[in-house]
Amino acid sequence: MSKKNHWTLKSIAKELGVSNATVSNAFNRPDQLSKSRRESILAACKELGYFGPNKAAQSLRRGKFNIVALVLPDSIEYMVSDPVASSFMRGVASVLEKDGTNLLLFSGNSDNLNNVVDFVDGFICYGRPRNQSLVEQLKIVPKHVVTVDFDIGRNASVNINNEQASYEVAKHALHNKDDQVAILGLRLLDQNVLCRVYEHHECEAGQSIAHQRLRGYQKALTELDIPIADDRIWNIPESSERFASIAAKEALCSLPRPSVLLCMSDLIALAAMREAIKMGLKIPEDIRIVGFDGIDEAQRFVPKLTTIHQNSEEKGALAANLFITKEEQKALINYELQLGQSS
Amino acid sequence: MSKKNHWTLKSIAKELGVSNATVSNAFNRPDQLSKSRRESILAACKELGYFGPNKAAQSLRRGKFNIVALVLPDSIEYMVSDPVASSFMRGVASVLEKDGTNLLLFSGNSDNLNNVVDFVDGFICYGRPRNQSLVEQLKIVPKHVVTVDFDIGRNASVNINNEQASYEVAKHALHNKDDQVAILGLRLLDQNVLCRVYEHHECEAGQSIAHQRLRGYQKALTELDIPIADDRIWNIPESSERFASIAAKEALCSLPRPSVLLCMSDLIALAAMREAIKMGLKIPEDIRIVGFDGIDEAQRFVPKLTTIHQNSEEKGALAANLFITKEEQKALINYELQLGQSS
DNA sequence: CTGTTAGCGCATTCAT
DNA sequence: ATGAATGCGCTAACAG
């Protein structure tokens, strides 16, 4: 007898003439019934086209959803084309996929965690979300949270030592006190504008990645006794070719012409190298350029970029593992100074 | 009186001394109660820390989940770093984000749609999933499905005319019957191997993108009366730098040396250009190379690549729109022949 | 306009 | 080893 094509645990149990608990157990708790019974039930279900308990109902009942929301710093559409974010997602995805956990992409522009909080097991947050109110919500949300590249009050996080890394790459790019230095910063300011950063007094206090990196640069500058003028630091609001090119052009045209360009991302450094080449400058003879991130394209570029290679994929994998194991750990991940011909 | 921190519709209703339907209505159906009543209830809820009906329960009840699964052709970790797939996802995400629909990434390697089918509203499938059994499931799954770059029995799909596009770009690359042509194909064979494709008899029948493109190439070749030897077509199993470089090297070293390289993706064409340059070949004097896709990196490369620009982002946006509106439409999307200096 | 009730589909006691 | 009952948290139909 073929009932309607849509079986439920209840209807299939009735069809088979057993109680629904038995069917449930057959699928979920093998130890609760005899092997033969279980197998005959499973076979009958398959035969009839019942593929197992409804996941939504199961989740509601158990309070477990097998979905984790990956909270991106910005809109999904923006993040998905960012090479560093992509690597990170790759690491996350590889671990979650093995674990059978589903990955939901969540925009850092959303204004409410509530839209998803009820059907995810928790959150992996890659960088501070653009919408600050999300941060506040993440602090108190009653689910598991792993933060990456920033911290909130919670205990599971993955970071790299941005200050030390920046210090190292700057140290490599800088030669002596006669160097003319310009810094192309990424999101140094909250304001969404491309401009120079005349005031950076609060840098010591700044907790953002950009400020950590800036501190690293400054430490290197200070050690070499290199002054940096107030008008030699740029703020680029997002890691895009367009903004980076404009800022690079401004920097390269500023006088005295910089001999060193410290860039807070490889994408920025690449744009800067392209602009420099267009202007007929020789790299590194006329200008030394260093980046941050270690993306593939920058390694393939001629000249190869000197940069800090962040192990983004590993970062993602670690974050996902922390999530799965629910370990409360503040992890610090390695980076590598990657030497190229650009400095 | 502060109850436990976890409110439910029921508990909050009791706390407020109203029925649960009233609270539900306050959140979902403003027209069902007076404005003042509604507002006072909402205010009280906010005050007490109840942020609205539990979404999981709501979804179970309504049968609507506000999640769509984006079925990728391959593993998530592989897809997320593919520039074409990323563009597509960008398009999808931009539309879904505006619609308030959440995006779940689903691997084309999974073997069971059942793990998610119960808590998504449907599927957007970007390319034929590597796991063929997923295709079978997609054909019969009782939810809305939009396919992209391939078709199943269902009625909503987005495609481009691969054959025509390939024909055009080949036509542009080919000059006359003395051209020596090699084809770097992407997933021409089911087998996951890098090799030459000696037999392509079944090309006429092949429905895959690769075969559609191959037909386009062959049409152009035929029109110009250019023969193509049996051993001049390569199969590259995935669009990665590594495989592409190997195949490109093989092709470039084969004798007589090709004067034209028809590549089924820009990533492949880029790898080929790099290998050619390494070998001291001049592009396009010694060898003309064309790609397919229109990714950014290929446009920035020197020489700029001649290719077919697929509007992947638009494709994604259209697919998402079809999904949302539930329109049953087989859409065909435009492409553009993008001329560079590589041919 | 408001409250009562019956499920959505299931997992888990607690009996037997 | 099995079955009846309860409720996860909610919405929609219905009754008042």
Length of chain B measured in residues = 343
Q: What is the reported pLDDT for B34?
A: 85
| DSSP secondary structure, B160-195, as one string | E-HHHHHHHHHHHH--STT--EEEEEES-SSS---E
Token look-up 């590194």 returns A284
Please tell me whether residue A232 adopts helix, strand or coil conformation: coil
In this predicted structure, what is the pLDDT of residue A141? 92
Q: Which of B236, B296, B310 is nearest to B268 (CA)?
A: B236
> What is d(CA B58, CA B65) in angstroms, rounded to the nearest whole number?
8
Length of chain A: 343
> Nearest 5°: phi and psi at B46?
-60, -45
Distance, CA of A193 to CA of A243 (rounded, Å): 9
How many beta-carbon contacts under 8 Å exist across A and B? Answer: 134
**pLDDT tens digit sequence for B133-185:** 999 999 999 999 999 999 998 889 999 999 999 999 999 999 999 999 999 99
| Res B239: pLDDT | 86
Pairing of strands A157-159, A330-332: parallel
Indicate the residue type of B271: A
- As a whole number of angstroms, the distance between CA A304 and CA A283 comes to 10
Restricting to A residues 38-77, those with a Cβ less than 8 Å away from any Cβ of B are 51-52, 54-60, 65-67, 75-77
Q: Residue A269's closest CA among A238, A301, A291?
A: A291
Query: Residue B33: its pLDDT value, please?
Result: 85
At A17 the pLDDT is 87
Distance from C-alpha of A159 to C-alpha of A126, rounded to nearest angstrom: 10
> Sign of the CA dihedral B234, B237, B240, B246?
negative
Please, which residues have CB within 8 angstroms of residue B130's CB and are 6 or more apart in sequence?
B73, B74, B108, B109
- Most B CBs within 10 Å, among A117, A118, A240, A277, to test the B interface: A118
CA dihedral of A312, A316, A318, A323, whole degrees rounded to 10? 160
Separation CA A125–CA A123 (nearest Å): 6
Q: Is A3 helix (H, G, I), strand (E, B) or coil?
A: coil
Q: Are B158 and B322 in contact (CB under 8 A)?
A: yes
Task: Say how far apart CA B11 and CA B18 lie, in whole Å.
Answer: 10
Asked if A253 and A275 touch (Cβ cutoff 8 Å), the reply is: no
Cβ distance of B107 and A97 shorter than 8 Å? yes
Parts of chain A with a pLDDT under 70: 1-5, 199-205
The residue among A112, A168, A119 whose CA lies nearest residue A137 is A112
C-alpha A206/C-alpha A229 separation (Å) is 20
pLDDT score recorded for residue A3 = 40
CB B10 within 8 A of CB B18: no
The answer to whether the Cβ–Cβ distance between A115 and B55 falls below 8 Å is yes
Confidence check: pLDDT of B229 > 70: yes
CA end-to-end distance (rounded Å), chain A: 77
Q: Provide, in whole angstroms, the distance separating residue B29's CA from nucleotide D16's C1'.
A: 20
Rounded mean pLDDT, B185-190: 89
Task: Please tell me which residue of chain B has the smallest CA distance to A120.
Answer: B56
pLDDT score, position A319: 98
**Residues B125, B131, B133, CA angle at the centre, nearest 5°?**
90
Handedness of CA B297, B300, B303, B306 (dihedral sign): positive
- DSSP H helices, B20-119, are 20-28, 35-48, 55-62, 76-79, 83-99, 114-117
pLDDT digits (tens, 9 = 90+) for B261-287: 999 999 999 999 999 999 999 999 999
**B22 CA, C2 C1': Å apart:** 7
What whole-number distance in Å separates Cα of residue A286 and Cα of residue A80? 35
B206/B203 Cα distance (integer angstroms): 5
Cα separation, A168 vs A166, in Å, equals 5
CA dihedral of A202, A208, A214, A218, whole degrees rounded to 10: 60
Q: Quick one: CA dihedral B276, B278, B279, B285, positive or negative?
A: positive
Whether chain B has a CB inside 8 Å of the CB on A114: the answer is: yes
Beta bridge partners of A102: A67
Is the pLDDT assigned to residue B5 strictly greater than 80? Answer: no
Region of residue A307 (left: phi > 0; alpha: psi -120 to 50; beta: else): beta
Q: What is the DSSP string of A144-203?
A: EEEEESS--SSS-EEE--HHHHHHHHHHHH--STT--EEEEEES-SSS---EE----GGG
**Residue B297 has which token pair?**
């990196």
* Structural tokens at position B253: 């070293």
Spacing of B58 CA from D10 C1' in Å: 5
What's the pLDDT tens digit per position in B57-75? 999 988 999 999 999 999 9
Structure confidence at residue A239 (pLDDT): 86
What is the helix (H) or strand (E) element at residue A293, kind and residue range? none
**Chain C footprint bases within 7 A of protein beta carbons:** 1-5, 7-13
**Cα nearest neighbour of B99 on chain A:** A110
- Residue B6: predicted pLDDT: 78
Q: Which pLDDT does position B199 carry in this prediction? A: 67
Q: Do A102 and B106 touch (CB under 8 A)?
A: yes
Give the H or E element holding residue A104: strand A102-106
- Percent of chain B residues past pLDDT 70, beyond the cut: 96
Nearest CA of chain A to the CA of B48: how many Å? 15
Which of A81, A88, A102 would best serve as a mutation to test chain B binding (most B beta carbons within 10 A)? A102
- Report the share of chain B in percent with pLDDT over 90: 73
What is the model's pLDDT at position A128? Answer: 93
The C1' atom of C9 and the CA atom of A53 lie apart, in whole Å, by 8
State the pLDDT at residue B153.
87
pLDDT, residue B202, reads 54
